[in-house]
Homo-oligomer: A and B are copies of this chain.
Amino acid sequence: MRDVKPRLRQLEALMAVIDNGSLTNAASELNISQPAVTRLLTDLGNNLGFSLFDRRNGRLIPSQETRFLQPDIRRVLELMQQISDVSQELTERRAGHLRIACLPGFATSHLPNVVATFLEKRPSVSMTIEPDRPERILEWMIGEQYDFGITDDFAGHPAVESTDVQIRTVCVFPQNHPLETLDVITPADMANENIIHTKQNSEFFIGLAKAFQSAHVEFHSRVETRQFTAACELVCKGTGIAVVSALDAAKYVNQGLQFRPFRPIMPHQISLVRPITKQPSMVALEFIADFEQSLTPFLA
C-alpha cells in the first residue's frame, strides 16, 4: 500500500541517530543491527522526499529539514511512550477517570476522606463527584452517566445493580447536654427533647417513629430535614437532638457535638449502585471495593 506517512520505527531510528551521533551507535541503542538502521532511514528519506542527513567526513549530520521536524518527531515518540505508560497504569488501576454520584451529605462527610486516600497513591486517577437527590442519582445510573452512586431509599431497578449497606446510627446532642451522662440513649431518654429528623416519607423516619411509638413516648418534631449533615449542624447550634448515621456524626464531634449509641438499633440503609449495562473500568471496581471497605467501622 502507498502511504506517505512515515512509520514509527523509522522515526525512532532517526531520533536515535540524532541523539547518538552515528548509525552504528543508534543501532546499539535500538538493539538492532547497523544495516537495519540504514535500511529504515533510507526508506524514510525516500518516503519523505528530502535528504535526512548531510555527509561530513564519512559521517551523517542531520540536515536542516530533519532538524526542523525534530521537535514534532520527539513529541510523537514521547506520546507513544506515554500511551504505553498510561496503559500500564490503567492495567494496574493507577489511571482512569471515575464519575461518582452521591447524596449531598456524602459529598461533605465520609466520601472526601475515602477519595483523598484513594487518589493520594494514584496521581493519574481523576474523579467527578456530583451530589444530588436520590431521584437524580437513579436517573444517572439508568442513563449510564455515572460509574458509581451512593444513595438511599433505593427500591431497586432492573438496570441498576446495588449493594445495600446498613450503617449504624447514633443519637447526637450538643456538648454539655444532660444526655452526656448516659451510655446508651433510648426513646424514653428523648421524651422531653426537640427532635430533628429526616423526611417523614423516608424509610428511616418511619422506623424511628415506630420505635418511639413502641416505647409509648411522644415524638416532639421540631425540624424536618433531608440530610443528616444538616441535622448535625442544627444540633451543634442547640436547636434540638437527632438520630443520624454514625459516619455523619463522626464528622461533627470536633464541632461541639456529642453522640451515644441509640437503642433500639436503627440502621440507616444506604445503597451502593452501578449501571448494570455499563462495564465498569478497572479503577472504578477498585474504588467501589475500597469504599465498601471504608464503611466497615460504621456497620450496624
Instruction: Check A86 for interface membership: any CB of B closer than 8 A.
Output: yes
Q: Name the distance in Å between A82's Cβ and chain B's nearest Cβ.
A: 6
8 A Cβ contacts from A197-223 to B: none
Chain B residues with CB under 8 Å of A188's CB are: none
Determine if A282 and B65 form an interchain contact, defined as CB atoms under 8 angstroms apart. yes
Minimal Cβ-Cβ distance residue in B for A76: B79
Minimal Cβ-Cβ distance residue in B for A90: B65
Instruction: Check A84 for interface membership: any CB of B closer than 8 A.
Output: yes
Contact pattern, A 65-100, Cβ under 8 Å of B = 1, otherwise 0: 100110011011001111110111011000111000
Minimal Cβ-Cβ distance residue in B for A147: B64
Minimal Cβ-Cβ distance residue in B for A86: B69
Please pick, from B63, B69, B280, B282, the residue contacting A83 in the complex, using a CB distance under 8 A. Answer: B69
Instruction: Check A59 for interface membership: any CB of B closer than 8 A.
Output: no
Determine if A86 and B68 form an interchain contact, defined as CB atoms under 8 angstroms apart. yes
Instruction: Check A127 for interface membership: any CB of B closer than 8 A.
Output: no
Minimal Cβ-Cβ distance residue in B for A65: B90
Minimal Cβ-Cβ distance residue in B for A84: B5
Instruction: Check A263 for interface membership: any CB of B closer than 8 A.
Output: no
8 A Cβ contacts from A231-266 to B: none
Determine if B277 and A48 form an interchain contact, defined as CB atoms under 8 angstroms apart. no
Q: Name the distance in Å between A35's Cβ and chain B's nearest Cβ.
A: 16
Determine if B6 and A80 form an interchain contact, defined as CB atoms under 8 angstroms apart. yes
Chain B residues with CB under 8 Å of A88's CB are: 4, 49
Determine if A6 and B91 form an interchain contact, defined as CB atoms under 8 angstroms apart. no
Determine if B281 and A87 form an interchain contact, defined as CB atoms under 8 angstroms apart. no
Contact pattern, A 24-60, Cβ under 8 Å of B = 1, otherwise 0: 0000000100000000000000001111001010000
Determine if B281 and A63 form an interchain contact, defined as CB atoms under 8 angstroms apart. yes
Contacts A7-B8, A8-B8 given; does A68 touch B90 at CB 8 Å: yes
Chain B residues with CB under 8 Å of A72's CB are: 79, 82-83, 86
Q: Name the distance in Å between A101's Cβ and chain B's nearest Cβ.
A: 16
Chain B residues with CB under 8 Å of A95's CB are: 68
Determine if B277 and A80 form an interchain contact, defined as CB atoms under 8 angstroms apart. no
7 A-B pairs with the lowest CB-CB distances in the bound complex, closest first: A64-B281, A54-B279, A49-B91, A48-B87, A65-B90, A8-B8, A5-B84
Known: A56-B277, A63-B281. 16 other contacts (CB 8 A): A5-B80, A5-B83, A6-B80, A6-B83, A6-B84, A48-B87, A49-B91, A50-B90, A61-B279, A64-B97, A65-B87, A69-B86, A72-B79, A72-B86, A73-B83, A75-B79
Chain A interface (Cβ within 8 Å of chain B)? 1, 4-8, 11, 31, 48-51, 54, 56, 61, 63-65, 68-69, 72-73, 75-76, 79-84, 86-88, 90-91, 95-97, 147, 277, 279-282, 284
